[in-house]
Structure 1
Amino acid sequence: MLLATAAVTAGLVASAAPAQAATTVVFSTGHIDLVDIAYEAGALEIGVHDEDNDVEYATDGVAIVVKRQAKITVPNDPAFSFLGTPGVSKVWVLPEIQNTNLVWPGIAAEEIEAGAFAGDQLTLNVQSVSGPGQLAIYTENAVGQPVVLADSGNGLPDALTLTAGDHMHANWAFDAAGTYCVTFRATGTLADGQQVTSEPTTLRILVKA
């Protein structure tokens, strides 16, 4: 995974967060793998992949913006109570199904070659979330019921199992506006039995009020 030097360019910068450093790329739309896992030179690493332009970035050179348009009312269904009070509470959601006005968040292990890891399995740990509220990552099944993958509201770390070659999408829901720092770590057991673990990687996400 080649991580590009982060540079603000007209094609990449959204009118997002105020006072961003000149070396930060800011995304408020587009197909962005917020977690992109690779295994190179004997090490697991996590970056951010701009799918639309096929550019890789180090997480510390990126800021993700959740626009005001992402704010919704929690569905009026008790199954969604992990997000707040159904039918009452507000949350900001980067959606599993693409909305071209928002970031479409992906989680990818496409760069992991088949056979490199035992059973082709990896674990992505959501280690910590700091910010003004909670983060929940979840999918919805065929009948619209949530499947929670990670929820800082009931304690972390949470672990997601990925398969080599995977590319998945999920809803990323935040229950308050402000700046979040989300820390991830990837682990896996190589085909020869050796366990490898990435360095902890922190992604910055700005939720607009």
Structure 2
Amino acid sequence: MSATLTRAALYSGAVIAALGLAAAPAQAALITLSQGHVDVVDIAYEGGVLRLGLHDETTGTGVERDPAEVTLRVKPEAGATVPSNPAFSFLGSPGAPVWILPQTSNPALLHAGWAAHELPAGAFQGDSVHLKLTAVSGPADVSLYDVSQGTPTKRFDSGDGLPDSVNVSAGAHHHTNWAFEAKGDYTLTFQATGKLTNGTTLNSAPVAYHFTVG
């Protein structure tokens, strides 16, 4: 290397150091979750801010994660067919394929739900907030529903229009069925809203959650 090039390189380094410039930080590695317990939508109220996150317990130890850095995988083992019972017609035609993360735990699949453990009692009117599914992007419709004694109760359903909303109490923890009507990549956007006991209405930022099915 010539003396001129060496001096130029040293000079450039000195300028960068003098200006306090540094290399851009590396992006966080994306994480794929495919089995175990996860509170997909984790509702919290801290420092006057209502926010949504993701609480990962798939390894047995709770970890708070940024939903933008997580892909939730619905494995092929989640494949099923739509029951003939007309009560399940919101999933599609009887016998049609559907991929379901179940309400009850299956060790081979994600046990997905929502939680409000970080929503303190007494902060919001009615001790609750509304959780809204505002948008779904993907190859087909998505529905979240409970089943009790063989009868489904829809919580969210993109097939009959959005937004849909459920009431979530402070400290609540709920698991439900997450049904996807085709293989592919989906983005579900959630938002929380609530009214503080002083009458102030708070809205969380809308947060996108990413699923890969099949």
Q: TM-score, normalised by structure 2?
A: 0.85
| CA–CA distance in structure 2, aligned partners of residues 23 and 160 of structure 1 | 32
* SS state at 1:110 partner: strand
Deviation beyond 6 Å, 4+ runs, structure 1: none
Residue identity matched to 2:66: A
Residue identity matched to 2:47: A
Structure 1 range deviating more: 44-53 or 115-124: 44-53
Give 1:114 deviation, angstroms: 0.6
Q: Contact 2:67–2:207 at 8 Å: present in 1 too?
A: yes
Give 1:22 deviation, angstroms: 6.6
Residue identity matched to 2:93: T
Residue identity matched to 1:109: A
Counterpart of 2:70? 62
Q: Which of 108, 119, 123 is the equivalent residue of 2:115?
A: 108
| CA–CA distance in structure 1, aligned partners of residues 108 and 83 of structure 2 | 21
- What are the equivalent positions in structure 2 for 1:58-207 lying under 5 Å apart? 58-86=66-94, 88-141=95-148, 143-207=149-213
| CA–CA distance in structure 1, aligned partners of residues 45 and 128 of structure 2 | 13
Give 1:146 deviation, angstroms: 0.3
| CA–CA distance in structure 2, aligned partners of residues 168 and 151 of structure 1 | 17
Partner deviation per Cα, 1:66-97 (whole Å, 9 max, x = no partner): 000000011220000000112x1110000000
Q: Percent identity between the aligned chains?
A: 47
More helix by share: 2
Q: Contact 2:56–2:63 at 8 Å: present in 1 too?
A: yes
Counterpart of 2:43? 37
Is 2:4 the counterpart of 1:24? Answer: no
Residue identity matched to 1:202: A
Give 1:204 deviation, angstroms: 0.4
Give 1:129 deviation, angstroms: 0.2
Aligned-pair RMSD on alpha carbons?
1.3
Unaligned runs of 5+ in 2: 1-25
Residue identity matched to 2:72: I
* Equivalenced residues, count: 187
| CA–CA distance in structure 2, aligned partners of residues 98 and 75 of structure 1 | 20
| CA–CA distance in structure 2, aligned partners of residues 33 and 182 of structure 1 | 14
* SS state at 2:150 partner: coil
Give 1:185 deviation, angstroms: 0.3
Larger radius of gyration: 2
